[in-house]
Chain A
């Protein structure tokens, strides 16, 4: 059973939370910085956090750092670039075997904590600029990542739809910024972004450990208590206003399957009601979209919905053939209408809650899931236990779900329009 310890403040807007759970064989440690998401800074922040896990003053090349991790029984260390609404989340995460499995009795935990702190606080930099070789590699990685956003058509379509749905808001900014802004980044500007992050970004540190490691808290405390801080708070929730009439955008692409994305917004429906609505509409294999658009009408392989709490927005997406686009859109909107008219049973509501209950149980069985729960509670400023969260969902009535469904308005219809026939896929060449 996981034991969540009360969070410990290490410095101004730097908090450390520990979870103990002896069932795990590994230790996991996460440093998550929160910064405002802006078109000017998204790219440089994305590059900078990646650079911090590529090398450090202690391990000045990727090879040296990799070798060190390998010698620590293949410990993983990586950056995660994410977003919640208008906030950019910059995470450095690591995972390593618990000390009890070390072959020579050494403390892998102490070594990994020192390695991570070195990466975050002592990067490989000189004269206010990151190391040129490491910078060049990470900049190319970022440019390639941005260029290759197009590769995964489903996520690309979601990205484009978000850009249209949240136009004029920070959440419209692509996750890694634009190519133009990435091209402008220098080793100096990336270094400045690192300094700004350390000084101003709220930082949540979460450790999920199989047993107590008192030295870890001491190391973190020593490292962060002396930092000069001037934190800039961030807003995790900012409802996106609905357009007077929906934006309908089609973009052609040489692919065989269309991607259809719909964004629906609500100004003030309670989050728990929206959460239930999402589960009933397209969050599970028992949902209306799955049962009807996929199973009954055979229109799609996937048709699902998700609720973006931070923007009060519900996103629905599916992959569909070109000549069935209109039919799929109508079928999706029919399911929304069904919700508005109360076309769901108490049994479906109970199944939705069971699904949610199981998803939280699954989260509690993974170190990343436990950490994600802590981060989510910090963002919503509620500090609920998983049990309390389930109980809260149980209080949602069918009337509240119907009201939430009626409060939703269609904001965006984005279509990635397939222009390629199947026959065009066999264009292989050989030498």
Chain B
């Protein structure tokens, strides 16, 4: 077979990644790590909880599907016509799993022997859907329990409450697993429709890391992959206003202390620009509110935060926000202090020395992202899902971020009129 192959190399670490465009349409990314005992594989599709409205070229209308169907489909693929897929992996000593997030579904395994057999199982079952009324009904019971588990998870509730406060129309505000009501609408026919649309190999990636070779992966891929015709897929989101839905949202749950999460909504990006925007915004936020910042010391001294306080970013297709959260008796005071610090830095400038130190720290963290096969395989998938960029782009992008970029980012992505505060307060104790 003829392949289009590109070898990417990280000059700082010596890590290499072989990127292959397989004739079947699938992109394959392999990082050989010969010193390790295990191998990891992830087979993923660009299909997650946000893809609730879509059509293929030639379709007259958009198909709208119930919330949670991508996650449901992930569960159901583990059931073959004749057996449970987990048992096949167990027989060869591989540990298998899968996950669905906002923009992707990924099937994975790790093993320390029988890699070829395990990869065959992975490629086989993901390409072989089998849904019936009975198996769909059976799964509804299991997933209903998973949904309820998340309903009781205050961190999860806090986050989705924030997303509902930030996003009017974008389906990122929908729970990944859907609701008990939405999954009750799922039928085998809908599952097949979603499968045919999103599980086309041209929309997918296979990433492998650890003690394997690219040749080994290709040999199995050649045997197992079924050629897929390229198809034009259109997933659409309703227009999303720049404003937030509401500046404040709260709920009560069985928690020990008030939890909060602050979100700053801003313009989404894609591909390398998404990575650049995220890294710049993270550096900026760390200068403002990281544990080495004066604001953190002030909030700590005033007993407004504890060691759970942290900052992060959240981005994907059509959404981008910066997050800060933790536990506090007075979340509003934390938000007020944060906004005041941001406004002050907009006028007086960010601390240049702190920015340089944090950039150095980010370099160290980026350097070790591929320290082991388990982390490396996620890096490969992330880079594919982020517009197919190089898995080693992070260090390069970081080196290019300047203080001026951070200052600009502060003005554009940390606006007081684009913020929502989500709060979970302790429910009254049980009588």
Chain A residues engaging chain B, CB cutoff 8 angstroms: 1, 21-26, 61-63, 66-67, 69-75, 96-97, 101, 103, 133, 136-137, 140-141, 144, 146-154, 252-257, 284-286, 290-291, 294-295, 298-302, 319-321, 347, 351, 354-355, 357-359, 361-362, 364-366, 418-419, 422, 425, 427-431
Contact = CB atoms under 8 A, between A and B. Distances in A.
Given A299-B141, A431-B247, 4 more contacts: A66-B290, A72-B364, A286-B90, A429-B250
A385 to B, nearest CB: 13
Interface of B: 12-13, 33, 35-38, 84, 86-87, 89-96, 110-113, 138-146, 148-149, 151-155, 157, 161, 164-165, 180, 210, 246-257, 259, 290-294, 296-297, 300-301, 303, 306-308, 327, 354, 357-358, 360-365, 367-368, 370-374, 427, 430
A147 B256 contact: yes
Contact of A358 (B111, B210, B252): B111
B96 to A, nearest CB: 7
Given A74-B360, A151-B154, A254 B254 contact: yes
* Of listed B87, B294, B364, residue having the most chain A CB within 10 A: B364
B112 A361 contact: yes
A74 B362 contact: yes
B152 A62 contact: no
A319 B145 contact: yes
A55 B106 CA distance: 41
A21 B110 CA distance: 21
A24 to B, nearest CB: 6
Nearest to B14: A25
Contacts of B354: 67
A366 B297 contact: no
A140 B141 contact: no
Contact of B145 (A1, A72, A301, A347): A301
B430 A254 contact: yes
Q: Closest 7 CB pairs between A and B?
A: A73-B364, A354-B93, A23-B35, A74-B361, A147-B256, A298-B141, A361-B112
A294 B84 CA distance: 12
B368 A97 contact: yes
B430 A62 contact: no
Contacts, number: 223
B84 A295 contact: yes
B361 A70 contact: yes
Nearest to B139: A298
A73 B90 contact: no
A373 to B, nearest CB: 12
A358 B373 CA distance: 14
A326 to B, nearest CB: 16
* Of listed B33, B84, B259, B306, residue having the most chain A CB within 10 A: B306
29 contacts: A21-B35, A23-B33, A25-B13, A63-B293, A63-B296, A63-B297, A66-B292, A67-B354, A74-B361, A75-B364, A97-B368, A141-B306, A254-B430, A256-B152, A286-B86, A298-B139, A302-B149, A321-B144, A347-B91, A351-B93, A354-B90, A358-B93, A361-B37, A366-B374, A419-B430, A425-B157, A425-B251, A428-B164, A430-B250
B7 to A, nearest CB: 20
B258 to A, nearest CB: 10
B360 A358 contact: no
* Of listed B36, B84, B251, B255, residue having the most chain A CB within 10 A: B36
A61 B298 CA distance: 12
Contact of B364 (A21, A96, A357): A96
Contacts of B361: 69-71, 73-74
Contacts of A154: 149
Contacts of A354: 90, 92-93
Contacts of A75: 364
Contact of B249 (A419, A425, A430): A430
A358 B112 contact: yes
Contacts of A62: 291, 296-297, 300
A252 B297 CA distance: 39
A73 B364 CA distance: 4
A300 B145 contact: yes
A320 to B, nearest CB: 7
Contact of B152 (A74, A153, A302): A153
B167 to A, nearest CB: 14
Nearest to B431: A252
A357 B93 CA distance: 8
Contact of B254 (A96, A253, A358, A365): A253
A365 B145 contact: no
Given A62-B291, A153-B152, A430-B246, A355 B93 contact: yes
B121 to A, nearest CB: 13
A351 B90 CA distance: 6
A309 B180 CA distance: 39
